[in-house]
Amino acid sequence: MAQIDRYSRIRTLLGEESFEYLQSRTILLLGAGGVGGFCLDALIRSGITNITLVDKDTFEITNQNRQIGSDCVGAIKVNHLASLYPSIQPIHVNIDNSWIQSHDFSKYDLVIDAIDDLRAKVQIALQVKGKFISSMGSAKKLDPTQMRIDSIWNTKGDALAKKFRYELRKAGFNGDFEVVYSPESPHCEELGSFVAVTGSFGLALASLGIKSLLTEFLHPL
């Protein structure tokens, strides 16, 4: 008789060997906001529990339209999320150049970038190399069906992705990695956000990460 537990459906979908492989993987998730929170939830529900979550912020009332855990206004995001997902390792720190240069990225099987800081995104891409996926701009948009996944170098119509490409070239980066992005035109000038888009970005990042890890397992170099 097949094992019945919280992972029965994902185990059936992936197969036992692939599921067990995923469970053994370690992920570094950078950012616990509207994108990162949904990404975290999807990874945990898919059986990946060895996740280190990094963010410096506390929950604010304006987060409540889109962020998992944001009912606890004033709480440190990573610490509160660790109370909801006890298997994760929270790191409450500013993801700046100093932290990036001192952190050991080599111990993770995948690094997922769900932060907004362009300078930090570039430094992470330079530091990680080869096991990295990233979220582009999810703010100011209303239509999740316009979301796409592609190489950073093939993105079109996403302002953050355009700046990212420019800064990567300027920094001498000659690698490649996949990103979640949307060419949808902005619907406002100020920083507006819609959970159907930010959440979809997070779910797509989780899917992309899982597919990346399984490709590595099923088709090793």
Spatial distance between the Cα atoms of 16 and 118, rounded to a whole number of angstroms:
39
User: End-to-end distance of the chain based on CA atoms, in angstroms?
Assistant: 35
Q: Where are the domains of the chain?
A: 8-218
Write down the CATH number for the domain with range 8-218: 3.40.50.720
Report how far residue 19's alpha carbon sits from residue 173's, in angstroms, rounded to the nearest whole number.
34
Single-letter amino acid, residue 78: V
For residue 150, the one-letter residue type is D
Give the CA angle between residues 103, 221, 108 to the nearest 5°.
20
Contact 132, 177 (CB under 8 A): yes
- The pLDDT profile of the chain, 221 residues, written as one tens digit per residue, is 457 899 999 999 999 999 999 999 999 999 999 999 999 999 999 999 999 999 999 999 999 999 999 999 999 999 999 999 999 999 999 999 999 999 999 999 999 999 999 999 999 999 997 899 999 999 999 999 999 999 999 999 999 999 999 999 999 999 999 999 999 999 999 989 999 999 999 999 999 999 999 998 877 65
Six token digits for residue 212: 């990346």
